[in-house]
Amino acid sequence: MAQIPNEELLKRLGEKFDQQVTVVGEPYGLLTVEISREQIIDVLTFLKTDAALRFIFLTDITGIHYPEQEKQIGVIYHLHSLTTNTRIRIKVFLSDADVHIPTATVLWDGANWMERETYDFFGVIFDGHPDLRRVLNVDDMTAFPMRKEFPLEDPNRVDKKDYFFGR
């Protein structure tokens, strides 16, 4: 089947979820939409199960942090429809005081570690996740290191002090 044009895809989404889907843009041909977290599972389910769209493949889930925005934390989904070779990017923004979002593990088993990674690095709490623990960092870490305020280098390290180098 041929690739679904972005206009067609957007029309289908608009019919089903009118007013709730905001188009962010089409960077390099990849349709990017923003939706609220209340709608996310409904939209993902619709995209996955609709007979004409069939976005059955979850490519990736990741996060992003914009400290200057009101809703600081973004969760980004990349879906792929293998039968039509169409991709879509979905963004959900959450405020720092309430970083909860429903889990996508109800739709894809593979979302498990992707969401754990997003939690590990951005502190996004996926409600209903079966095993929401840190995945790459140590369990007793308290910070969420991919947030912008987290420094690249540990400010407390002592091996780079000037007096070691006679300065």
Interacting residues with other proteins (CB under 8 A): 25, 27-28, 30, 32, 56-60, 62, 64-65, 76, 78, 82, 85, 87, 89, 108-114, 117, 121, 134-138, 145-146, 150, 152
* Residue 83 in tokens: 């039968």
* CA gap 55, 45 in Å, rounded: 9
Residue 15 C-beta: closest distance to other proteins, Å: 26
Residue 49 C-beta: closest distance to other proteins, Å: 13
Question: Phi first, then psi: what are they for 65, rounded to 5°?
Answer: -125, 120
Sheet with 86-94: list strands edge to edge. Answer: 22-25, 31-34, 86-94, 73-81, 57-65
Residue 103 C-beta: closest distance to other proteins, Å: 14
- By beta-carbon proximity to other proteins, the closer residue of 66 and 167 is 66
- By beta-carbon proximity to other proteins, the closer residue of 14 and 145 is 145
Q: Residues with Cβ < 8 Å from 104, sequence gap 6 or more?
A: 40, 41, 44, 58, 61, 77, 111, 115, 126
Residue 152 C-beta: closest distance to other proteins, Å: 5
